[in-house]
Structure 1
Amino acid sequence: MAQQCFHCGQAIPQGELVLRPIQGEERAFCCHGCASVCEVIYEAGMQSFYQRTPDGELLSPPPPPNKDIEFYDHDEVQSQYVGDLGDRREITLMSEAIHCAACVWLIEHTMAKMDGVLLATVNFTNKQIKVRWDNQRVKLSDIIKKLNSIGYDATPYDPSASEAAYRKANRELLYRLGFAGFTMMNVMWFSVALYSGAADDLEYRNYFHWLEFIIATATLAYSGQPFLKGAWTSIKSRSVGMDVSISLGMLTTYFYSLWVTMHPENVGEVYFDTLIDFMFLLLIGRYLEAISKNKAIDASRRLMDLQPKVARLWENGESRIVPVRTLLKGATILVKPGDQFPVDGHVVDGESMVNEAMLSGESREIPKSKGDAVSAGTLNIDGTLSVAVDSILQDTKLGRIVHLVEEAQGSKAPIQCTADKIMPWFVSTTITLAAMSFVYWYFNAGIEFAIMTGTAVLIITCPCAFGLATPMAIAVASGVSARNGILIKNGTVLETLHQIEHFVFDKTGTLTKGQMKLVDALWEAEVDEKRLLQQVASVEFRSEHSLAHALTESVKQRYGFGSRDWLEVESFKAHPGKGVYGVVNAVALQIGTAKWLQSEGVALPPALQDAAEQRAYQAQTAVWVAKAGQVQGVLFLEDEIRPEAAELVARLKAQGKRVTLLSGDCKVVADSVAEKLGGMHVIAEVLPEDKNQVIRDLQAEGQKVAMIGDGVNDAPALVRADVGIALGSGTDVSMDSADIVLMGNDILAVDTAVALSARTLKTIKQNIASSITYNLIMVPLAMSGVLTPLIAAITMPLSSLVVIGNAARIRSFFTPKAIAARRRPQQGEH
């Protein structure tokens, strides 16, 4: 029997076997294309692709890659990335070479000068370039070639491959950082030997200098490559960025040290150790900036992963599994219990309960029967449904939410940190001052003193402190907050969170727990409540329904029952969307909806019916209990408000912040929750796709808005907001879309995060101020010739050490003493 390809499942022709290790296990492939695709899938952590592929369905081996850029000019290729293939087209490109605000400026200005390009915007956080062009005047291949010519290797954005690309880039940066750290430790021993007396002997001094030269050359070539490459790109494009100053300082130090090494008869010092030191420090800053953006860019891909890729097509009296993309409107599919709906459609046959929490954010399961609409990505609970297809993929409600997330991501302005704004002026001034010093001392003290003075200026003003000012503070704040249950995924949010003036909260799962709980019960006369609830819980214990689980847990907590206390149940039967039936102690029990009990001939007391209708306005779900055909009472379940929610609202209001409750529930229910929390503005009856618009409208009024949510329907709003905060108990997509995730699900951490952002911003300003002060003092001394390159090399890292030390002080933010001090004013107000 022929061996099958691990990727596509097709038979491997004789003589064409390709073996590759996949996660430590050797796998067989029919071609190198399948092997490469499989490696990429596993590298990106997307091996669940193979679990989603239906058994028995063969894939096609991937076509060989086309290395010709003109390949992207074909409409068939562009259709994968471009929505409208008319004359005016729009595409999102991705380039790993984007690493600073200067890159954003260069790309946007270069594209603006290109004939036929209508719009070009760069999202620095995502390293994406959105381009709109006239296809009659310029081809996509010409645009990509133009980007290549200025140093940005751009390709059409593919969400499925972006994570692997980011991992590879960060891994390479970490290797460079590790190599620089290793060589720094080795060169340090040579420097110790020289400073301890070896420099007094010419032979030993030359020996150690050449050893340092060899190590420094290797470090500069490998670890310094990102800075040298960035500087060369800036020079070619006639722009000035941080890399120019860094590279000039590194090269000047390197070549001056080489000159001293080659002329041992002249008095001079070498600075190979200094060169390696600040390469190591700069790479730390660059790596910390990179890792803060690594996981937050593919929320749209995670959203689409919620939508199944295959469906059970019902045709000619039988079902068969087909790809969703092949379904036509009006086709009928089967959705079995436990399956997610692959399309938007309406039920044509069957009854079931459907969990729409991932889409609507509401915890209650909805009964579905003939004629009811269902949405892609929602979960079918307990019955098989026949569904007529209305829309698929990007045309579904989930697909529209994906579009909103991507649009909101693109609308965020590129990061413009303080260091990036100062850097062009700083670099130009540094080079000018170094040149002025060199010229002055060349005519007044000779070439050697001029070189030493100019080098001292470049070394003393190396902008590593500027480069570390922001990322070090953010890295420390992110690390210490993560250990205390606040995961800050996008570090730059700490620069904006303190400016937030309006906090918008989703209701279900955010201000409430998203878990139903028995809150009340009304009984007919002479009912033994404890005994009856034990019987009810015994029946419900056998059901898989979420309401049954909530009811059982509530009874256990109320009376201290354990699993051994459940009574024996006979003839148990679950009626999907209606309720459950069971016989306990030879007496029949029916527990479920009023409509079901009435259909079974059970008469409902009018007083209890009126009470149930009133409770419905308070978001309480009624579960009726009948015993031997007679109603015994009605149970009321409600989503419990988080105990710390009221205190959080009070804290934010005490700081002068605006607080809004945003919910899809009816206004009566939302107002009731707001009142229990001490009062706040309410925006109710909002459709999932409209939450994003609410945030946009608030921002249009000039407000800085933070959105706190936990559901898929909150994802576009979380991205649209200036700061998105998600609860760790929420969906993966909401957490991917948010800037901050509260892993402990304690929403009081929102207030803690606000305080942390203010502390972090203060630290960043202190760091930048210390760097400026340092340069204002040390640069004049270097220009005057008071500081030699040796002294400059010793004092230059001090500014970085001050920055690092000041940033480390943020760790004290979560000490018990600091936490008590933050809580004390609030306790005093109460």
Structure 2
Amino acid sequence: MSQADQHCDHCHLPLPEGEDISATINNQKMHFCCYGCKTVCETIYGAGMDGFYQRLSYQQDIDGDILKPPPEINSELEVYDLDEVQGEFVDALGDIREIHLLVEGIHCAACVWLIERSLDNATGVIQGNVNLSAKKLHLKWDNRETKLSAILHTLGQIGYAAVPFDPEAAEGQIKKHNRQLLFRLGFAGFAAMNLMWISIALYTGADEGQFKELFYWLGLGLATPTLIYSGYPFYRGAITGLINRHLTMDLPIAIGATITYLYSCYVVIIGSEIAHVYFDTVVNFIFVILTGRYLEAMSKRLAVQSTQRLLDLQPKISTLIIGDETKIVPVRALQKGDKVLVKAGEKIPVDGVIIKGESVVDESMLTGEFVPMAKFIGDSVSAGTTNKEGVLTVEVSRTLKNTALGKIIHLVDEAQATKAPIQCTADRVIPWFVSITLILATVTFLFWLTVDFELALMAATSVLIITCPCAFGLATPMAIAVATGVGARMGVLVKHGAVLEILSSIKHFVFDKTGTLTQGKMLVSTLFYAALEQDEQPILRKIEPDEQLLERLSKKEKQLLSLASYLESHSEHMIAKAIVNFAQCYSLTRNELNNSAELEHIKVTSGSGISASYQGKKLAIGSLLWIRQMAGDLAVWPQLEAQVQEYQLSGSTVIYAWLENESICAYVVEDKVRDNAVDIVAQMKAQNFAVTLLSGDKQEVADYMANKLGIDEVIAEVMPDEKDQVIQQKQQQGHLIAMVGDGINDAPALVRADVGIAMGSGTDVSIDSADIILVNGELEKIPLAAELSRATLKTIKQNIGISIVYNIIMVPLAMAAMITPLVAAVAMPLSSLLVIGNAARLRWRFKNR
């Protein structure tokens, strides 16, 4: 194997040709691409941390992309203190550093509180914000005072394993966690089904027969492994919370399950004639809660996937120009000042400046506007955008994290990290609820202990069972579960249930323009035609497309429109496709008009248009300036320009088709407003919602669109990071904001907003970044979603009231020993059933919507 085919033993990049940089380390000769890699490798081996290389899975996929090392490292955390390693994850290697960490073991808001509180007391930590949905920690620390490995050790001591965040590895970790949770859920479900038959036998008279003890021991045999295996997460969470002096949701679950289990064991062992066993209650309790946690965990993968989709937009390889030769290299190997070759149809790998060539570049992923932009020498281009036509030579100005795309990815991560976790009423009350429950159970036991031990145990157990916070815990998630189901049926997908609670309080909606309030596709709306007969004043004719269009066109008009569409069929431009589609729709194609003449000398002029020869005459279609240069001074120009000016001011694009000495035609191409957009905006304003139009388009175009829609506030000419800043500024003014968008450029704003709403017809990135998706892109679903959110919040409050009233009535009865554990076990699910039934009313309310 030649040296050119080898890779650096440290960073795995190709070795430079004609230069041998090597060293003998651990009796093995190693080769490096530079002296920096050689020094780092020697340092790592010299420190005895060569296990670092054993954990690197350097592979090369079919695209030539060098994959990042997996972060699943449970020991040797000191490796993460190396700048060469941190460079993959840290924004800037200065004294003050920031990093995103993937944290395993997070499952509730109490975990967030515990992690952030522990980090507040850690030396050198400036800030630590946990994103509950993505299980990510945004950490800012002073590298002079503490090392990253020390912070990771601190997190490990409180029960949370953390590693630098990598989207692919993070998604794998979440899948692993969900799979383990599913196994525990399946085991509990198996035990619950079998215990059901035992319970039916006991409740129908077997508890008084000769097989009573057999059934009891069978129940014990099923409940014990279920409590140990399926109940392990609850015990771990409860113990961790107690160690750190914080009551979590896991504590009442662990107490209720343990006391009920121990009491049932007591009954089995002593063989009481008056007492009953409640192994089925233990198992069913665990099964129901695990089911809820598994469904919640499934939604946590979405945050990771949105970041991964953004990363997928970054090209993985590039064509590096070295002298007169080219070489395929990974994008991460590029440096500022390098020159790369970008062919037609390829994505631009980095931010840079064109030094050779001209083309049309699709920048819709950044601007949201789908009309490609003409690019010439000296113009800037951005990573992830698509070169549509010509061949470009680009000089690299920014790479990876510093590119416009990289900044969008950073904004999404930052917005996710700074969005505070939702603390529902139940979570805030649970610690007090648990404390009061324990006190009441203890008081009950001590009071009845003077009368009878078994009576005291039964009464105390009844208090624990009947006050078990099932109904209280189900109050919020049950209403949200029903509401999300109702929303899905109506075409409103809610990705995070708590979003409905926030949406109910929102009174300010911010709309993107293109693809949200408009249809998101170019259409020919109007035509202007003039015959260029010699010695005659050309007459300009306005043509509105309708069902009788073909009948109203003259032979020459049909000829020009069919030739123009045939010529445009040689272009991949968005507007060209609109003209071709228009011709096909109205049967104006060359074949349907029996026009068999061929076009010759077809030539594409980047940023201007396309031209050809037809029967010895020039045929061209393109921009006004370009056509005027070829056609010269025509008498019709002043009249034509005056007619199309109104359309241009409204944001429409005007393209001109010209056949030498024959005719000229102006196509008005526009992105039309959605049919019901005006009515929806009026409806929202009538309901006292504030509506803002936020667009990357020109100010005059946005003003025209806002006036047409009846929107009062307009913010135009904003880039993706500026959209994010606009949302943040409005939030700082005390407003709760809902952002509605459909493009990649909307992703940071969608995540930053209190509620992000994406059109189902939009890009995958915007959909993944949003909290609510309108499946069919129907704007009328937005007010409906707001109504659903208000109804959901009302139902949540009703459910909480039901659970409180239930406890106010039943707890005194249990303390008075008027309720046995058996009755308590039956009564306890009744409160849950009431909550479930009340939540189900949401289905009936929106049944015909």
TM-score (norm 1): 0.89
Deviation track 1:246-294 (CA, whole Å, cap 9, x = no partner) reads 1111000101101111122543100001111111111122222222332
Counterpart of 1:495, as a letter, is E
Displacement of 1:602: 4.3
Q: Secondary structure at the match of 2:191?
A: helix
- Which residue number corresponds to residue 214 of structure 1? 221
Counterparts of 1:790 and 1:336, CA distance in 2? 76
Counterpart of 1:276, as a letter, is V
CA contact (8 A) 1:756 1:813 kept: no
- Which residue number corresponds to residue 597 of structure 1? 627
CA contact (8 A) 1:623 1:635 kept: yes
CA contact (8 A) 2:106 2:132 kept: yes
Asked whether 1:781 is paired with 2:781, we answer: no
Displacement of 1:64: 11
Give the alignment partner of residue 123 of structure 1, picking from 131, 134, 141.
131
Asked whether 1:244 is paired with 2:274, we answer: no
Counterpart of 1:534, as a letter, is S
* 1:346–1:172 Cα change, 3 Å: same
Q: Which shows bigger deviation, 608-617 or 210-219? A: 608-617
- Which residue number corresponds to residue 826 of structure 1? none
Counterparts of 1:330 and 1:662, CA distance in 2? 36
Counterparts of 1:62 and 1:193, CA distance in 2? 53
Asked whether 1:688 is paired with 2:696, we answer: no
Give the alignment partner of residue 645 of structure 1, picking from 658, 677, 680.
677
Deviation track 1:50-103 (CA, whole Å, cap 9, x = no partner) reads 34327xxx8899899672223323333333333343443333322221222222
- Which residue number corresponds to residue 622 of structure 1? 654
* 1:473–1:586 Cα change, 3 Å: farther
Counterparts of 1:275 and 1:307, CA distance in 2? 51
Asked whether 1:464 is paired with 2:467, we answer: no
Counterparts of 1:62 and 1:678, CA distance in 2? 52
Counterpart of 2:163, as a letter, is T
Counterparts of 2:708 and 2:353, CA distance in 1? 38
Asked whether 1:495 is paired with 2:501, we answer: yes
Displacement of 1:613: 4.5
- Which residue number corresponds to residue 159 of structure 2? 151
Counterparts of 1:326 and 1:797, CA distance in 2? 61
Structure 2 residue runs without a partner (length 5+): 15-50, 531-537, 540-553
Q: Secondary structure at the match of 1:314?
A: strand
Q: Which shows bigger deviation, 209-218 or 305-314? A: 305-314
Deviation track 1:532-591 (CA, whole Å, cap 9, x = no partner) reads 323322332343222111112223334687975574352352413332334567765321
Asked whether 1:795 is paired with 2:803, we answer: no
Deviation track 1:403-435 (CA, whole Å, cap 9, x = no partner) reads 222221122112211111111110111111111
CA contact (8 A) 1:624 1:634 kept: yes
Deviation track 1:680-710 (CA, whole Å, cap 9, x = no partner) reads 3111122332111111111111111111111
CA contact (8 A) 1:695 1:705 kept: yes
- Which residue number corresponds to residue 562 of structure 2? 534
Give the alignment partner of residue 756 of structure 1, picking from 760, 766, 788.
788
Displacement of 1:531: 4.3
Counterpart of 2:640, as a letter, is L
Q: Secondary structure at the match of 1:741?
A: strand
Asked whether 1:702 is paired with 2:734, we answer: yes
CA RMSD after TM alignment: 2.8
Counterpart of 2:744, as a letter, is V
Give the alignment partner of residue 665 of structure 2, picking from 621, 624, 633.
633
Deviation track 1:695-746 (CA, whole Å, cap 9, x = no partner) reads 1111111111111111121111111111111112222211111111112011
Counterpart of 1:598, as a letter, is R
- Which residue number corresponds to residue 427 of structure 1? 434
- Which residue number corresponds to residue 90 of structure 2? 82
- Which residue number corresponds to residue 547 of structure 1? 575
* 1:800–1:35 Cα change, 3 Å: farther
* 1:479–1:438 Cα change, 3 Å: same
Displacement of 1:117: 2.8
CA contact (8 A) 2:321 2:327 kept: yes
Asked whether 1:450 is paired with 2:456, we answer: yes
Q: Secondary structure at the match of 1:52?
A: coil
Counterpart of 1:79, as a letter, is G
Displacement of 1:517: 0.9
Give the alignment partner of residue 393 of structure 1, picking from 393, 400, 406.
400
Displacement of 1:601: 4.6
Displacement of 1:35: 12
Q: Which shows bigger deviation, 713-722 or 558-567? A: 558-567
Displacement of 1:479: 2.8
* 1:265–1:640 Cα change, 3 Å: closer
Displacement of 1:650: 1.0
- Which residue number corresponds to residue 580 of structure 1? 610
Counterparts of 1:196 and 1:634, CA distance in 2? 86
CA contact (8 A) 1:530 1:559 kept: no
* 1:60–1:347 Cα change, 3 Å: closer
CA contact (8 A) 2:321 2:341 kept: yes
Counterpart of 1:416, as a letter, is Q
- Which residue number corresponds to residue 767 of structure 2? 735
Counterpart of 1:689, as a letter, is D
* 1:66–1:774 Cα change, 3 Å: closer
CA contact (8 A) 1:347 1:388 kept: yes
Q: Which shows bigger deviation, 673-682 or 499-508? A: 673-682
Question: What aligned pairs does 1:270-349 form with structure 2 within 5 A after superposition?
Answer: 270-349=277-356
Displacement of 1:522: 1.5
- Which residue number corresponds to residue 34 of structure 2? none
Asked whether 1:815 is paired with 2:847, we answer: yes
Deviation track 1:746-775 (CA, whole Å, cap 9, x = no partner) reads 122111211111121122222221111111
- Which residue number corresponds to residue 18 of structure 2? none
* 1:570–1:737 Cα change, 3 Å: same
CA contact (8 A) 1:538 1:569 kept: no
Give the alignment partner of residue 191 of structure 1, picking from 186, 189, 199.
199
CA contact (8 A) 2:724 2:752 kept: yes
Counterpart of 2:158, as a letter, is I
CA contact (8 A) 1:482 1:488 kept: yes
* 1:352–1:166 Cα change, 3 Å: same
- Which residue number corresponds to residue 52 of structure 1? 63
* 1:121–1:282 Cα change, 3 Å: same
Counterparts of 2:690 and 2:469, CA distance in 1? 40
